[in-house]
Amino acid sequence: MITGDSRQQVIPPTRSRVKAGFVVYSPDSGKRNIIILDEGELAAIDRNNGIKTTVFKMHPGDLVGVAALLEHENFRYAIEATEDSTITVVTEECMESELKTLPVWMLAVIRSLSSKTRKLKDALHHTRCENTLKSLAEYCSHLEAKKKYPLKDLVHEFHWLTRIPSSVVNEEIKALARRKFLVQEGTGEDTTVYVVNTLLLQIFVDYQNATEHGVNWEPFTLSLAQKRLLVKISSVDQSTSMDAPAWIAFFKEAKLQIDVTEWIRMQQFGWFKPGRGNTFSPNTDKIKYYLAALRYETNIRGVL
């Protein structure tokens, strides 16, 4: 202990032995302490709505309460000893007496590190996406179509990837099922989920992206004449290859409205693939994409 006119009295931390079941810290106490576990095991307990849940366990060398003490944040969990343990408690008075002996630059470093650590911990518990329905649809679009997945496993994995609460994930799965993109079967622990068509989920994600950016989504902007052209192209073999004038003549023979401007628009939609010698052939993947979007417009928009 240092005394004197030029130095503050330093209050040392306390080290003690506690029995299993002893409450080391209670959020109701209003105290801000750093708890360091030297030996044994401690557990952080959440008693939300009267239900006791173990949030995490502490092992020798672990500590809690730094943000609470340095940044005056509330620590909402109780800390209990799960076995006989030895702890070191750094009280607010103890920390203040120690900090007063430090240079200003060292104090700034400590506070900066504490703030960065807190932000990293917060990031682990916050969702990594804003549009949870779109995020789930994108995730499911990579699943194997028609393959049945246990609902609890799917929810658990998606929660682990995104930190979206399991209750929210379950509701979004129901939303995709209402749109006929997913199918749930069974009850309770035996409930399974399977994807009807991965293309529909990809289309739904693209539609959501366009909506978020406030732009019109091309499949839903087609005129009646363009839709008729699309249907006609879908009936043509993908190996068919002609130049632009021949394609325009082909559509006109089918009594469809088309001119050079409309032909350029079809190129922009991606309905044709360029070939050798200024020829073009149907882009079947893009055509299927647009046809599926139009067929399931009600499901995609969510107007059921």
166-187 pLDDT, tens per residue?
888 899 999 999 999 999 999 8
Return the C-alpha torsion angle 144, 146, 148, 153, nearest 10. 40
This prediction's pTM: 0.59
Amino acid at 166: S
Give the pair of three-digit tokens for residue 156.
């658990």
Residue 46 CA to residue 79 CA, distance in Å, equals: 9
* Token pair for 129: 């996406």
176-196 burial by CB neighbour count: b if 16+ within 10 A, else e? Answer: beebebbeeeeeeeebbbbbb
Is the torsion defined by CA of 268, 270, 272, 274 positive or negative? Answer: positive
pLDDT tier for residue 129 given thresholds of 50, 70 and 90: low
Which 3 state secondary structure label does DSSP give 157?
helix
Check pLDDT > 60 for residue 276: yes
Amino acid at 200: L
Task: Give tens-digit pLDDT for 200-251.
Answer: 999 999 999 999 888 999 999 999 999 999 999 999 999 999 999 999 999 9
- Tokens 């363009």 belong to which residue? 226
Q: Are 138 and 206 in contact (CB under 8 A)?
A: no
Sheet holding 14-18, edge to edge: 14-18, 85-90, 34-39, 63-64
CA angle, 209 as apex, 132 and 283 as ends, to 5°? 125
Q: pLDDT tens across 25-35, in order?
A: 888 877 778 88
8 A C-beta contact, residue 205 and residue 137? yes
Task: Name the residue with higher pLDDT: 260 or 125.
Answer: 260
pLDDT tier at 164, thresholds 50, 70, 90: confident
pLDDT > 50? residue 86: yes
For CA atoms 282, 283, 289, 293, give the dihedral sign: negative
Convert 59-93 into a string of H (helix), E (strand) and C (coil).
Answer: CCCCEECHHHHHCCCCCCCEEEECCCEEEEEECHH
Rg of the chain on CA atoms, in Å: 32
Q: Are 99 and 76 in contact (CB under 8 A)?
A: no
In this structure, how many other beta carbons lie within 10 angstroms of the beta carbon of residue 282?
20
CB 259 within 8 A of CB 278: no
Report the percent of the chain where pLDDT is more than 90.
53
